[in-house]
Structure 1
Amino acid sequence: MTQRPDDPNHDPENDGTPDRSDPAPDDKGAEIVDLDAARSGRNADRSPSEPKPTTDDADGPVLEGEVLRVDRPGPARMDWRASLERKATSRQPLIPLWLRSRAEAIETVRWASLHYAHVAGYQVLRAPLYAGRLTVRAPRGFVRLVNGMVRWTFDFEGEPVRVAAVQKSDYDGYLKLSRQRDSRVRLRVWITGTILVTLLVLAIVVTNQPTAAQWGVLAVAMAALGILGKPADRPLINRAVMASEVEKLSSDIVVRALSVLGIAGITQALSKNPKDAIRFVAPITRDGPGWRADIDLPYGVTVADVLDRRKQLSGALRRPLGCIWPEGDSSIHEGRLILWVGDKDLSTTVVRSPLKQARSHDVFKGIPFGNDPRGRLVTVPLIQHNVLIGSQPGQGKTSSIRELAAGIVLDPTVEAWFHELKGTGDLDPYDKVCHRYVSGIEDEAIAYAADSLTLLRKVVMRRSAALKALPADLCPDKRVTRVIADKRSLGLHPLVCIIDECQNLFAHAEYGDKAGDDAEFIIKLGRALGVVLILATQRPDRDSLPTGISANVSIRFCLRVAGQLENDMILGTSAYKNGIRATVFVPEKDAGTGYLVGATPMPKVVKAAYLNTPETQLIADRAFALRKAVGTLTGYALGETAEQATPNFDLLADILAVVPLSEAKVWNEVIVDRLAELRPEIYGAWAALEGGAKTAQLTTALKPYGARTMQVWGTPEGGGKGANRIGIAREDITNALTERDKGKAS
């Protein structure tokens, strides 16, 4: 027996522990092994240069030469707090999602109220029909009642058994059955007799009652007999609401649909493990007018793979394409699929604008823009944002702009600058409330829009200084708020500039480059100052939409586009790769439907509200009356002459005026100084620039005309050392002027 070391009788020399110095025991005893030598021998094949593990965080120190196991046996140990935090991410909400949204809760209650009101009204109106059916069926019910009572009283249901006993010559069995029948009949005759006497007494009592009571009893009796006489195949009450033909979404249907999409990762996973290859992380539930399934796709399969096969998924689920809306939840992982299958095709739904009947609106609360596929209202925040809308022609871009413009003009504190550069007059109803307005595709309209951006850039600079000067208690966050906007004297009210078909401006040879620079400046700095830019284009490419603009816009709405390049120009880099693809929409059928990014926590498919011209005119009339009442009509709405950003001038002609024929080539900085002397009100700011900025200013101004700059050898006008600097050749300016005049003449 081994003694414990802490035993008072413990003998260290006889504690049962073998001594390494003892001689080796005989074959009958246990062999004493030198652990160090054994471990050294076990790892003798380890390379001398191979690092030896010395510690093990999981199981304490590891001796030199011991093999370090990467995967430890048993369950992985995790700090209880980390485990709790991981589980907390999947907690279900205490309050149902539809109750957390006031608008959705109201819509749900409204739908339920209308549904049951319809059912009640339908049945009440058909009450006479049901009474007639009961009356007609009452005789059949009476016959069934009498027949049933007779058969029960005399035990006719047992007659087949007794006949069978006679046919089998089972005398003992027949006698037992006969005695049992006699006993039953005696009891049942008394019960039936008691019931008949009771009914007779009740009939006598009823005959002595008022006529109304008699008719009431007769109605109850007829109703009971009518129900008893009902045919099995003809129900008494009609259905007020026919059952939907839409098949309930189940896990088997979803797995079957995903398995036929031809995605290699899903096919292989299902062949190896059919039960767990596709996991449902939550029960399939009703979500609005449709079904929602939360799915973890097999390892290596992403939501983008499923989005590529949306049409095939529609065929597999036997539902119209406009009912199938798969989307991802990248906040969890790229393989989390949210599959929503609607009852109705979204393309057949017409979204009515909530602003059609609104008397006014507050842009600081966002603008109601449209509905998602589940019928929920989607609001676009406007203040502190800029908006970019893009699509192919005829896909609903104009309706989207009209809806945003409706919310803008219904807020009397907002200053509206609208530019419609298609020339069709889509925004003409709003011209009566705009500070600046133009509709046209001519150079004059393009120049007007370019002037607006130049003026807007000055507004941004002025507002920046004004906002900085406000006291901290009024403006702690240094951004325009509702309180600041209402103080009209501060000049910090919201200012929204819409440019529809902006590609006609940014791609213009004369005004495009500067307009692009101004727009980028406004987008970057104006959002905190209450200045909002809304751009819409049907040609989203690098020439028509400068990258500095598309990269900095915070809210994007992309309707149907042709390919990946256009998709990412509107929705942002890698949007197509991440499964946000406006190429999935069907031309014309899905008009008004697009991907909205930046307005909600996750990208969302939205169908914009539709406003026709008469509805838009009514909204504009209300906005005009509202603004007139509060005195916020300005500029174009009052018939005032449009303010120009700069006086009219001809740069090429001015350069030829200050560069004589004797000078073939001149430095840019020299030309700028001469131009400032010629027209100080125009070029004075250019001459005030220093260093390379003065040279670059003229280079930028000449780009729209195709006049190139080059290295020119020269000397300063006041004398000095010669040098090579950026300049122009007078011949190039003459050629550019000639080409421009030819273009105007044609």
Structure 2
Amino acid sequence: MTHPTETPTRNSQVVNLLDRMPPAQRDALEKAARAQVQDSSPAGIADASTGTVKLSAEVDGQDLPVVEQIDETTRRRLRLHLPAALVSREVWQHRRAVVTHAAGYHASRSHLYAGRLIKLSAMGLRSELASAASYLLVSEYGEMIAEARVEAKRKGHADHSDVAQLRAERRTVGRARRRENLTVLSATGVTSYVAAVVAIAEVWGMALATPALLPVVGVMYACGLREVRRRSEPYVIFDQAAADEDAPLTDSTINAALRKIKVLGEEEIAELIGPIRAVTINACEATLKLPSGVTAPRVIAAREALAEALNVEPSWLDVRQAGHPNRITLWIATSDPFAETRVSPLVEAPERQDVWGRGIPIGFNRRGETIYLKLKHVMALLGGMSRTGKGMLLRSIICGLGLDPRVNIRLAAGAKPGEHIGYSRVCATFFGRRPGRLDLLLDALLMEANRREEFLEDEGRAKLGERDLAQFPLEILIIDEGQEYTQNSGPLSADIVAKIERLAGFAAALNIVVFLVTQDPDKNTVPRKFKSNSAVRIATKTGSPTQTNAILKEGATGNGLRAHEIPFERKGQTIVDIDGAEGELMRSYFIEDEEHDGAEPIITAGRELREQCGRAPGQFADPIEDYLLLATGLSSSGGGPGGRGKPGRPEVTAEEATVLDVILGAFPSGADRVPLEAVRTELADWDQQWAPRPEEEAAAYAGRIGKALGDALDKELEGTGVTLEPTRWREDSGRVRGYLKSDVEEAYEAARKIQK
């Protein structure tokens, strides 16, 4: 181990000694050096390097290495001992803002200050001239002479000797005062000063004479202040920059506002704990210790009144308890923190999400902090008026869910399923407005809930946890435009509502979540028992206090959660009542959906992630979709065939296909009928036994295939009570014999029910 030498280096050069060593020796040296650093490090972690070696050109005739070591730990510890008021960049940023604002504020009002100074100086000049005249003219004898005259008149005789005596004394005193040294010196000084100023102005001009007048201004200002104090009249020259509406936050501003709203008494003071610091470009934060008897909940309850006293919008102010009930942190912005939208972090980094632990990033609050939505052991409700940001918020939620392969997404679109087609690749179930299929889907979820409940009974546990997600994935049923199912589905509406309420009552602990999205919410569109069991409530702009209460909770408007007062033009601004953000005002993240599909890369990443884990739609055993397939013969996994939200026959292999499958596959896209000739061609492509035999005539082939087809159909439809026979219709080429699609689908459905 080399040691630093005390001899100064000359012509020093940097040499990497490791390059001159054999590889084995270099590896051993690096290992030993790192082990020593690790043992001596306070955190027990080896650093990235062990120093820089410098060689002197000549030290006692030998080249000796000199090791320079920089102790960064010492530097950091020294910085920790310095007060934040000296080393915090955010504190200095706020101080610069205060100084800059004060300079600009006073500069803009300099003309007012000049007028007030002139007025104050004139007041002092008048006062001093009057005092000097009264002193030199002995004006106090005037009152005594007047009183002597009145007394002589009262006695009724013409003896005015007292008056004459007073006048003589007045002349004597006045003559003495005017000859006093102070009077003579003062008159001489003033005369000389005026003569000097006039001379300077005559010789060098007013530009140089103006500075000579500053002593006069100073004296007049001092005389004016003395006169103001004598009168006991308030007179302010310089205004308080901190009282300006746009002034940065100060402790005096805060205390004045708290007194104004009657939270503090006139003599009480909220003390700053540490300096005020800037936290974003347009906001700052202060921590205060409240006086005894004033608690944080009291200040938080008066937040709207405090915002008014501080001349900001309520959404620009945030008050939180800082640990102790008598401590608060006050965050205030100088402009609207929700004015600009923010792109979802999922767009920049479509990485795997933790829906269970951390939650989905759905938006940001007034402080700019990310709001995460956790969907575990809860029921969720999202509502608001049309075109207020529900779709964009749902977009963030589905994209986040798609990036967690432990989640099965079941999406039932009540209207406009085309808006959700892009999500189909990560949806275990996706279909458009089909009340009957949603009714069956709820049945399947109830059956799955019962299966999971039996598992918990066997295990002796109360609820499923994160460790069970491999066996029991998080099932999230999203019902978009829920009013189309709960109100506008005829007789099925009552059944759907009943099943939703039943799931809400017990399925949350079984890793089954129902997420209801509705517009124009009221007590009819939101099932009562479902709302009572919803721990997640999100409201975009609503049309009335009634709608706000229907989404959030009864009395929400009285507690300041007034979603109906959100500006209509501020789409995406939302009130959330969720775990970690109770009654929080936020704005949802933005994912482009008009100029280009911003969700497409996120969904692609989610699909690839699910495929790697074997959790893409169709890759895993899905009892929910299996139930729907058995009940209807149609699959909606991944949005159904084509992924467009339209359930259809699942893709089957040639070995799994039946004659009915082949006939259905023979129909051209959009056609409602198919000729027998096309059916025979499709059958021949499916299995060679249906192909023409060598040298078999057309008539013989048609008769053989017709009989075989009839026998196969009778076998597949045995016990269904349904028969499938060809029919005839007329075309331009003549009469054609074949199958109608409605007949084939009816036979297919009947055969599927028998197979169940």
TM range (shorter): 0.3 to 0.5
Tell which structure's C-alpha radius of gyration is larger: 2
TM-score between both structures, scaled by the size of structure 2: 0.45
